[in-house]
């Protein structure tokens, strides 16, 4: 079974500063993918960034970067230069690559980020 | 990027009636789509995996007779909530895979059962 833990229920961040959202996971699958999604108040889930468990480098997408520490089973999201539009819920998710679980995503509980002007 | 639509975005129905929610992949074909449920201030919980041309695979605890899923084509999956009750009120979100590790979500459907 897979489990995703996001220990920060809510965070405040000052505009233009960086923020790190924590995500730890537990899995017995040898190969897996890690995802971060943003969910604004409108409810849509917006894909931000992906990290494969065998990727040699940490993933980056614009202002988003993933601090992947495989030995610690953590996949923290770093948002640089925060903007007011970054205020939203952020979900970490994991999916095994292959196996009986197929393509199913398991989500963490989420972290609500509020960017202050 | 890949676009997934859902219809309706909001629906209010009376207890005991059924409601159908559509999920469409607009610019790609999806052999697999997923249906999630999200209660207020909670995370997404996978309800079922919808496979084109075959029966859906339901997660443990999800009543397949209550939540009917049909994946009739490579671009359309439907979720029908049968005999809806107030406790079925929730935010229902579908997703579809464009490429192996990119799962795109629809905008969600807010169901309110009165």
Chain A contact for B34 (CB, 8 A cutoff): yes
Q: Which of A35, A44, A107 sits opposite B107 (nearest CB)?
A: A44
Phi, psi for residue B111 in degrees, rounded to 5: -100, 130
Task: Give the closest residue to A75 by CA, choosing from A66, A84, A63, A86.
Answer: A66
Of B2-16, B28-42, B90-104, the one with minimum mean pLDDT is B90-104
At residue A96 the predicted structure's pLDDT band, cuts being 50, 70 and 90, is confident
Convert chain A into a string of H (helix), E (strand) and C (coil): CCEEECCCCEEEEECCCCEEECCEEECCCCCEEEEEEEECCCCCCEEEEEEECCCCCCCEECCEEEEEECCCCEEEEEECCCCHHHCEEEEEEEEECCCCCCCCCEECCCEEEEEEC
Q: Rounded mean pLDDT of chain B?
A: 92
Average of pLDDT values for A70-95? 96
Chain-centroid distance of CA B33 in Å reads: 8
C-alpha–C-alpha distance, residues B55 and A7, integer Å: 37
- Tokens of residue A25, six digits: 């996971």
Contact status, residue B47 vs residue B35, Cβ threshold 8 Å = yes
Bridge-partner residues for B12, per DSSP?
B112
At residue B102 the predicted structure's pLDDT band, cuts being 50, 70 and 90, is confident
Selected residue of B37, B103, B109 to mutate for chain A interface (largest A Cβ count, 10 A): B103
For residue A56, what pLDDT is reported?
Answer: 87
For residue A66, what pLDDT is reported?
Answer: 97
CB contact under 8 A, B110 and A91: no
Using DSSP bridges, classify how beta strands A106-107 and B4-7 pair: parallel, antiparallel or unpaired: unpaired
At residue A98 the predicted structure's pLDDT band, cuts being 50, 70 and 90, is low
Average of pLDDT values for A99-114? 84
Selected residue of B41, B101, B102, B110 to mutate for chain A interface (largest A Cβ count, 10 A): B101
For residue A32, what pLDDT is reported?
Answer: 92
If you search the block for the tokens 């790609």, which residue do you land on?
A: B28
CA torsion A63-A68-A72-A76 (nearest 10°) is 20
Q: How confident is the model over B21-74, as pLDDT tens digits?
A: 999 999 999 888 999 999 988 999 999 998 888 889 999 999 999 999 998 888
Q: Which of A47, A106, A110 sits opposite B102 (nearest CB)?
A: A47
The secondary element (H helix, E strand) that includes residue B9 is none
CB contact under 8 A, B103 and A105: yes
Q: Rounded mean pLDDT of chain A?
A: 93
Chain A contact for B32 (CB, 8 A cutoff): yes
């Amino acid at each position: 079974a897979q489990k995703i833990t996001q220990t920060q229920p809510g965070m405040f961040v000052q505009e233009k500063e960086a923020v790190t959202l924590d995500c730890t996971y537990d899995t017995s699958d040898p190969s897996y993918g890690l995802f971060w999604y943003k969910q604004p108040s409108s409810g849509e889930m917006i894909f931000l960034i992906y990290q494969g468990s065998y990727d040699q480098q940490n993933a980056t997408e614009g202002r988003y970067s993933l601090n992947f520490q495989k030995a610690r089973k953590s996949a923290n999201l770093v948002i640089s230069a925060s903007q007011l539009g970054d205020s939203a819920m952020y979900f970490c998710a994991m999916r095994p690559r292959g196996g009986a679980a197929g393509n199913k995503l398991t989500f963490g509980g989420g972290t609500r980020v509020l960017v202050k002007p | 990027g890949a676009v997934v639509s859902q219809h309706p975005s909001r629906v209010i129905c009376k207890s005991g009636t059924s409601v159908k929610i559509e999920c469409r992949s607009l610019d790609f074909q999806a052999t697999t789509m997923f249906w999630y449920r999200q209660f207020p201030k909670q995370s997404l919980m996978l309800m079922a995996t919808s496979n084109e041309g075959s029966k859906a695979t339901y997660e443990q605890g999800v009543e397949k007779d209550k939540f009917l899923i049909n994946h009739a084509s490579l671009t359309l999956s439907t979720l029908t909530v049968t005999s809806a009750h107030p406790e079925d009120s929730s935010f229902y979100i579908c997703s579809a895979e464009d490429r192996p590790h990119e799962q795109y979500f629809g905008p969600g459907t807010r169901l309110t059962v009165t």
